[in-house]
Amino acid sequence: MTTASLFDINQGRRDLAALPADWQNNIREAWEVVDQQGLGSLNAREWPFALRAIGFDLARTETYALLLAHGIPPHDHDPARGPCSPSRLRMPQEHFSAIAAWLLMRRDPQEEAEDAWKMFDPRGTGRITLDSLRAVCSEVNSTLSEADMRRMIDMADISGKGWVSKEEFIEVAKGGFSRA
């Protein structure tokens, strides 16, 4: 079954209310990054970017189906002239927030950690070294210092071998190894 066919707007609203304040804030910030004009709704091309900003890259067919089900006509649409074209529908912030909360509550931390691992170990070496972390930081234009990157490796490397294994990475990504 698809995300669009499983999604229930009322459950999404309940999920949003149940989310911790920092997660609700992340949803709001993702929205604001894309809705820079403050319109309160995003068009068919914009709203998937807001989902991506919180870590969800749904297939185009999924975002389209959700837009058809939960989008609203723009303010300038005249219903007397017929139904609104799907390409003109807009996703209101309230519906986006409910969808985002619903997705967040159903995410699989193991799967997300596995996906993140692939970014840090694109060659499949089974380890994250300082060099591979440096390459990822460069790719995303991060300004982490060499010392910060070393601390990140040291924090996750529980055995002291100088690199991070997939198991160590996934444990940290899922919230384990809370070492100072």
pTM over cut 0.75: no
Cβ-contact 129, 168 below 8 angstroms: no
Q: Is 42 helix (H, G, I), strand (E, B) or coil?
A: strand
Instruction: Give the angle 117-120-126 at the CA atoms, nearest 5°.
Output: 70
Question: Are 11 and 57 in the same domain?
Answer: yes
Can you tell me the distance from the alpha carbon of 174 to that of 116, in angstroms, rounded to the nearest whole number? Answer: 11
Question: Are 85 and 142 in the same domain?
Answer: no
- Please check whether residue 22 lies inside any domain of the structure: yes
Which residue, 78, 105, 132, sits at the end of a domain? 105
- Please check whether residue 179 lies inside any domain of the structure: no
- Please check whether residue 11 lies inside any domain of the structure: yes
Question: Are 22 and 89 in the same domain?
Answer: yes
**The pairing of beta strand 90-92 with beta strand 164-165:** unpaired
What is the pLDDT at residue 179?
44
Cβ count within 10 A of residue 137: 17
Question: Are 67 and 132 in the same domain?
Answer: no
Which residue, 65, 87, 105, sits at the end of a domain? 105
Place of tokens 């799967």: 111
- Please check whether residue 119 lies inside any domain of the structure: yes
Question: Are 130 and 99 in the same domain?
Answer: no
Question: Are 98 and 50 in the same domain?
Answer: yes
Can you tell me the distance from the alpha carbon of 30 to that of 49, in angstroms, rounded to the nearest whole number? Answer: 9
Question: What's the total number of domains in the chain?
Answer: 2
Question: Are 99 and 113 in the same domain?
Answer: no
- Please check whether residue 178 lies inside any domain of the structure: no
- Helix 93-105 with 60-70: angle, nearest 10 deg: 130
What is the pLDDT at residue 39?
94
Which residue, 60, 89, 105, sits at the end of a domain? 105
Can you tell me the distance from the alpha carbon of 32 to that of 25, in angstroms, rounded to the nearest whole number? Answer: 10
Q: List Cα–Cα distances, 30 to 35, 43, 96, 144, 165, in angstroms.
A: 9, 15, 10, 23, 31
Helices in 71-174 by DSSP H: which ranges?
Answer: 93-105, 109-120, 130-139, 146-156, 166-173
Three-state DSSP string of 17-35: HHCCHHHHHHHHHHHHHHC
Can you tell me the distance from the alpha carbon of 90 to that of 105, in angstroms, rounded to the nearest whole number? Answer: 24
Question: Are 119 and 154 in the same domain?
Answer: yes
Question: Are 65 and 29 in the same domain?
Answer: yes
Q: Look up the CATH number of the domain holding residue 135.
A: 1.10.238.10
- Please check whether residue 122 lies inside any domain of the structure: yes
Per-residue confidence in pLDDT tens, the chain, 180 aa:
677 789 999 999 999 999 999 899 999 999 998 998 899 999 999 999 999 888 788 899 999 999 999 999 999 999 999 999 999 999 999 999 999 999 999 988 888 788 778 888 888 999 999 999 998 888 767 788 999 999 999 999 999 999 999 999 888 877 654 444
Which residue type occupies 156?
A
Question: Are 79 and 120 in the same domain?
Answer: no
Question: Are 16 and 95 in the same domain?
Answer: yes
Where in the sequence is the domain holding 21, given as residue range(s)?
A: 3-105
